[in-house]
Structure formats: C-alpha cells, structure tokens
C-alpha cells in the first residue's frame, strides 16, 4: 500500500461525492418539474488485485415502476374521455332547459294550449286567433333553435376533433424525436433517464387524446399503437389526418363505409375513426356521431308526432268561412305516383257556409297526381292545378265560394286522411330544423269547425262552432303514439310528458356522466400521485443527502490532507 494509492483512493471518493452532489442538486432544482424522476448514483468499491482502492460510479438513473405508469396512462385516457362526455352533456342539457328558467320547449307547448283555449272561449276574437298562430310559430322556432344548438354542438365537437388530432400528431413527433435521441444515447452507453422522463410526459399527454398502448424495443425505441392495435408510431410517425367538415347539419353524418359526408380520421388513407374510441377524440366522436344525433332524433320524434297529431285533426275541420282555395303542404310533379282508397269530397259553399255543390272523387282510380288533378277538374265549378312550387291548389271558380275538402278517403303508405295526406289544412309543416306554420294558416284562418255535412243545401259546418279547435286542444292533452327513437323507447303518452321524459333522461345521463367523470378523475389523480410520490424528488431527502455528501467530500479531502502530511513527513525525514 503506497501513499499514492491513498491519494488515488481519496481522489476517487472526492469525485464520487462530486457526482452525487451534482445529481442531488439536479434533483433539487427539478423538484417541481413535471414528469421529472429523482435520479440516484450507483457506486461500487474499486478493487485492484482484490484490494479495495477507493470507490467508483457505475451509473446513474431513476427507478420507475413501468406498470404503475401504464395504469396512469390508462386512467388518464379514461378521465379525459369521461370529462369530455360530461362537459358536452351539460352543455347540451342547457339547450333543453335549466332549473331557473324551465324548458322553453315545454313552455312553447303549454303556450299553444293556452292560446287555443282562449280562442275556444272566444273564437270571434282576432287577437285570440293571432295568439294561436303566434304560439304555433313560437313552438316551431323553439324546436328549430334547439335543433340548431344540437347541430352547433356537433360542429364544435367536430372542430375539436380536428384540433385534438393536430395535438396528437405533434405529441407523436415529440416521442419520435426523443426515441432517436434515446437510441443514440443508449448505444453510447449514456444515461437516458432524463430523456425517458420527457418521453413519458409526452406519452401521458398523448393518452389524454387517444387510447394508446405502447412498448419499448431493446434499442430503447418506443412504439405506439391504438388500443385496437393500429400503429401510430413505429420507426416513424403515422400521422393522423382529419379535416373538420365546417358547419354540420343533421343530414351530415360519418359512416364507417365512407358513404357519409363527414370524412373519417385516416392514417395513410386508412380510416381509423372506429379505432379511436378512447380519450378526448373518442368522446368527441361519440358525441358527434351518436349522442347528439340521438337527441336530434328524439326531438324530431317529438316534433313530428305533435305535428302529425295536430294536422290529422285540423284537416278534419274547416275555416269559418271556408277559404276560396286550398293549397297542399307538399310539392308534387304531375307524374308523381299516388295511391289512395275511398273517396275525397270536394264541397263548395256559399258565403253563409251552406253546401252549394258536392262531388266525390274515387281515389282508388287515381294512380298519379295528374289523375287527381284531372278528377278534381272534372268537378264543375272547381279547378285544380300545380302552382310554380309544385303545390296542389284546389280553388272554387266563383270567388265568393268556399272550398271544403272532406270524405273518408285515405292516401299514402300510412293511410292518412286524404286532406291530411296533401296537408290542405295543416297547422305545422316541415321537419325539425325547418318546422314552420304554413302561410295558409294566417291567410285562411284557423280550422275552427268540424265538417258536419256534404249534402247540398245543408250547412257544411255550424257557424261559431269551435269543435275543430277543441279537438286540437284535446289532442295536445291526450296520449299520442311515440315511436322508439334515440335513447327513448316507444311509448303512448302526451306530448308534454314525452318532452319531460326526454329532458329527464338527458339530465339523468348528464348527472351520471358527471359522476363517472368525477370518479375517473379521482382515480387518475390518485394513480398519478402514487407515481409522482414513488418517482419524484423529495427536497428534504435530497437536502439531507446533500449534507451527507458534503461530509463525504470533506472526509475525502481529509484523506488527501493526511496523505499530503505523510508525504511531507517522509520528505522532511529524507532531508
């Protein structure tokens, strides 16, 4: 054992202490860096010929529980998915109503009944009739505006998808860059733990958007796949490509066979939309393609059923006095096919509402709209034609006469009454989004009275009769047949109850989505916290270590001082 070996041992202790102090300082300075894991230095005894000659660093790095991190990634995907779903539910729920203001749709329905009952009590009042028309218009515009909000929310989801896809691509590139650096460093035998920290942070962020699985190859390269196994990053990034469709309408849908007008999210031309079912992107796709269209369908079912029920009744009634001409709601071409059974009575009335002429048309003999036109034109004193919009117009030749359409005839596949089929006396027409009150309602007035007779000389209806309006009122207050739609099953109930069921179901789903989001967010919180606690820096621990290393350093210096003193005493001995 020589003095120089003591010197060398002391030096090795000094340098190890320096390395350790340096690592501890880095740890302390990164104590609050996101994703940073605490590093430690591995040392071993340096031996020469079996004799210890000091200490040496064999490496440094951090101890990371990869399984725990995988759980964090999974929990992050789920939390992000759930919170996006919850946020969209809450936002769309507010379009249907709030606790303070109630539901506009329900108010609009009630308003129709209120206005109708006022008109029934006083049918002669022009303002009461106007109120009914306004209430119908208000219902139409409320339904349309809720539908607009649903579509606007779909549009928001759609553009959010495009932003999320962009962010996901950026993150894939970040991981790819880090992969390259790690592979090179690992080949050189350098420490890659800091690079891995950054890569882990990027993967965790990516998992917010996409449900991913990943593994690391022996060269240190990380490969990323979707949960269904489609590659997103292997040796290079498989970029996701998506362009938002602009303002969406209810007709615009995504179809996995590519037939829809909303394009899919693709990788090199292959549609991956159905594979991206997790994370924020998965939630946005679900909202855009499933939840919101379902709601639109439920709203349409409500609106169509109410419209149909009201029109079916209003077409059994006539205005007081009957109008000189009636116009169909639908548009036709002369060659359009027509199928009907029974007969349609074309009745003309004088100014007192007495029947002046009445002819029955056999609908089973008509197979096209032209046949109907010809049959009606065959009735004297009455003309039928298609106007420039293709609407079927039936008018009395005498400008003082009124036209009443009656009869037991039915038409179309669902066997509607013939007047209902053509919509001569409709109160509402169009579908959700373009629901409207036809102009004829304001020009001809409301269908007030039920048709009592088609016999010439009789009164076609009783003047002052409001049973037409009463029947419409009763229809609104009675059970209607609602078919199954969206999340709601087929049911027989009143319009208002169907609406409250619809909103109740939406509110329940929103509440449960919020609870799910809360749970998954706290799961994610607790897993992330475990991971950070296990791998992160504890400043107090590092401070104590720092003090210990400082003492190590001082002790090592003492070794050198001692060796120096020994050397000095030998030198002085030799003088």
Partner 1 sequence: MRVSTMGMNSQVMTQALKVQSEYSEALNQQSSGTKSSSLSGLDGQAGVALSLQSDIARSENLVTQAKAASSELEVAYSTLSSVTDLAESLRVSISSALDGSVTDPDSIKSEAASALESLTSLLNTKYADKYIFSGTESNTAPVDLSDADYDPLSGVADTDYYQGSSCERCLMIDSDTAIEYGITADDAAIEEVMRALSMLANMDTSTDVSDTLSETYDMLGDAATNVGLLQEEISNQVTTLENLVTAQTEFQDYAEAAYDSLTKVDVATATTEVSQIEAQLQASFAALGTVTSLSVLDYL
The residues binding partner 1 (CB under 8 A) are 31-32, 38, 89-90, 93-94, 96-100, 102-103, 106-107, 109-110, 113-114, 116-118, 120-125, 462-466, 470, 473-475, 477-478, 496-497, 499-501, 503-508, 510-511, 514, 525, 529, 532-540, 543-544, 547
Shortest CB 496 distance to partner 1, Å: 6
Q: Which is nearer to partner 1, 42 or 124 (CB)?
A: 124
Q: Within 10 A of 228 (CB to CB), how many other CB atoms are there? A: 13
Closer CB to partner 1, 109 or 146, in the complex? 109
- Cross-strand partners of 346: 359, 405
Report the half-sphere exposure of 50 (CA within 13 A, side-chain side).
0
Please, which residue, 177 or 511, has the CB nearer to partner 1? 511
Our CB check for partner 1 shows the closer of 328 and 450 to be 450
For the chain, report the end-to-end CA distance as a whole number of angstroms. Answer: 23
Omega within 30 of 0 (cis) for the link into 527: no
- Rounded to a whole number of angstroms, the CA Rg of the chain reads 40
Q: How far is the CB of 249 from partner 1 (least distance, A)?
A: 26
E strand spans, 217-339: 222-226, 231-233, 240-241, 266-267, 270-271, 317-318, 325-331
CA dist 34 → 197, 204, 524, 525, 541 (Å): 9, 11, 16, 14, 19
The least distance separating partner 1 from the CB of residue 363, rounded to whole angstroms, comes to 31
Q: How many CB atoms lie within 10 A of CB 29?
A: 12
Q: Given the complex with partner 1, which of 133 and 507 has the nearer CB atom?
A: 507
Q: What is the rounded CA–CA span in Å between residue 70 and residue 52?
A: 42
Q: Judged by CB, which is closer to partner 1: 132, or 384?
A: 132
Minimum distance from residue 411 beta carbon to partner 1 (Å): 27
Task: Kindly tell me which of 207 and 535 has the beta carbon lying closer to partner 1.
Answer: 535
CB of 273 to partner 1, least distance (A): 29
Give dist(CA 177, CA 101) in Å, integer: 53
Angle between the N-to-C axes of helices 467-477 and 292-314, in degrees from 0 to 180, rounded to the nearest 10? 150
Task: Write down the least CB distance from residue 539 to partner 1, Å.
Answer: 4
Q: How far is the CB of 489 from partner 1 (least distance, A)?
A: 15
CB of 129 to partner 1, least distance (A): 12
Structure tokens given for 285: 């796709």
Nearer to partner 1, 336 or 505 (CB): 505
Nearer to partner 1, 327 or 475 (CB): 475
Nearest to 339 by CA among 409, 405, 411, 407: 411
Residue 69 or 338: the one with the smaller Cβ distance to partner 1 is 69
> What is the number of other CB atoms lying within 10 angstroms of the CB of residue 125?
12
CB of 410 to partner 1, least distance (A): 24
Tell the smallest beta-carbon distance from residue 75 to partner 1 (Å): 15
Q: Which residue in the block uniquely carries the two structure tokens 């609870």?
A: 515
Smallest gap from Cβ 514 to partner 1, in A, equals 6
Q: Which residues contact 174 (CB under 8 A, 6 or more apart)?
A: 198, 202
Upper half-sphere CA count for residue 99 (Cβ side, 13 Å): 2
Output DSSP code: residue 363.
G
Q: Which two tokens stand for residue 498?
A: 């169907």
The dihedral region occupied by 179, where left means phi > 0, alpha psi between -120 and 50, and beta the remainder, is alpha
Between 173 and 509, whose beta carbon lies closer to partner 1? 509
For the CB of residue 355, give the shortest distance to partner 1 in the complex, in Å. Answer: 18
Least Å distance, CB 16 to partner 1, is 22
Q: Of 90 and 239, which CB lies nearer to partner 1 in the complex structure?
A: 90
How many C-beta atoms lie closer than 10 Å to residue 371's C-beta? Answer: 17
Q: Write the burial class of residue 137 (CB in 10 Å: 0-12 exposed, 13-18 middle, 19+ buried).
A: middle
Spatial distance between the Cα atoms of 483 and 485, rounded to a whole number of angstroms: 6
Structure tokens at 552: 């190590």
User: Coil, strand, or helix at residue 255?
Assistant: coil
Of 103 and 349, CB closest to partner 1: 103
CA distance 386 to 372: 11
């Amino acid at each position: 054992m020589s003095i120089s070996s003591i010197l060398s041992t002391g030096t090795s202790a000094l340098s190890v202490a320096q390395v350790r102090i340096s690592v501890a300082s880095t740890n302390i300075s990164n104590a609050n860096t996101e994703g940073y894991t605490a590093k430690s230095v591995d040392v071993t005894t340096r031996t020469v010929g079996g004799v210890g000659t000091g200490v040496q660093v064999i490496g440094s790095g951090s101890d990371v529980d990869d399984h725990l991190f995988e759980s964090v990634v999974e929990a992050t995907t789920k939390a992000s998915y759930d919170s996006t779903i919850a946020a969209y539910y809450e936002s769309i729920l507010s379009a249907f109503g709030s606790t303070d203001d109630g539901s506009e749709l329900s108010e609009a329905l009630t308003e129709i009944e209120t206005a109708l009952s006022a008109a029934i009590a006083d049918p002669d009042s022009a303002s009461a009739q106007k109120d009914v028309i306004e209430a119908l218009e208000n219902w139409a515009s409320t339904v349309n505006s809720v539908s607009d909000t649903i579509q606007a929310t779909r549009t928001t989801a759609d553009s959010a998808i495009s932003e999320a896809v962009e962010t996901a691509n950026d993150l894939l590139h970040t991981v790819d860059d880090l992969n390259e650096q790690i592979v090179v460093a690992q080949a050189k035998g350098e420490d890659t733990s800091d690079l891995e920290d950054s890569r882990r942070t990027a993967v965790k962020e990516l998992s917010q958007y996409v449900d991913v699985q990943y593994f690391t190859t022996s060269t240190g390269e990380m490969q990323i796949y979707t949960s269904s196994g489609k590659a997103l990053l292997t040796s290079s990034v498989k970029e996701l490509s998506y362009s938002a469709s602009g303002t969406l309408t209810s007709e615009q849908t995504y179809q996995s066979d590519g037939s829809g007008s909303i394009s899919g999210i693709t990788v090199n031309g292959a549609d991956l939309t159905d594979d991206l079912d997790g994370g924020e992107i998965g939630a946005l796709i679900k909202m855009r393609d499933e939840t919101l269209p379902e709601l639109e369908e439920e709203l349409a079912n409500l609106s169509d059923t109410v419209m149909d029920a009201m029109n079916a009744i209003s077409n059994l009634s006539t205005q007081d006095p009957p109008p000189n001409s009636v116009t169909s709601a639908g548009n036709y071409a002369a060659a359009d096919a027509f199928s009907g059974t029974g007969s349609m009575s074309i009745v003309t009335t004088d100014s007192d509402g007495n029947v002046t002429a009445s002819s029955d048309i056999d609908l089973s003999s008509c197979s096209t709209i032209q046949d109907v036109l010809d049959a009606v034109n065959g009735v004297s004193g009455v003309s039928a034609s298609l106007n420039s919009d293709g609407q079927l117009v039936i008018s009395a030749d005498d400008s003082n006469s009124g036209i009443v359409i009656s009869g037991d005839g039915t038409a179309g596949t669902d066997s509607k009454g013939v007047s209902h089929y053509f919509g001569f006396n409709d109160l509402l027409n169009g579908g959700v989004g373009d629901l409207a009150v036809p102009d004829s309602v304001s020009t001809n007035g409301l269908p007030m009275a039920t048709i009592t007779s088609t016999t010439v000389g009789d009164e076609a209806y009783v003047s002052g009769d409001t049973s037409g309006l009463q029947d419409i009122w009763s229809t609104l207050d009675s059970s209607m047949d609602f078919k199954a739609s969206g999340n709601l099953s087929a049911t027989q109930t009143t319009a208002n109850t169907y609406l409250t069921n619809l909103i109740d179901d939406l509110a329940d789903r929103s509440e449960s989505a919020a609870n799910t989001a809360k749970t998954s967010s706290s799961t994610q919180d607790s897993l992330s916290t475990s991971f950070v606690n296990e791998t992160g820096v504890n400043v107090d621990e590092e401070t104590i270590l720092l003090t210990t290393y400082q003492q190590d350093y001082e002790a090592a210096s003492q070794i050198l001082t001692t060796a120096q003193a020994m050397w000095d005493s030998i030198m002085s001995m030799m003088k």
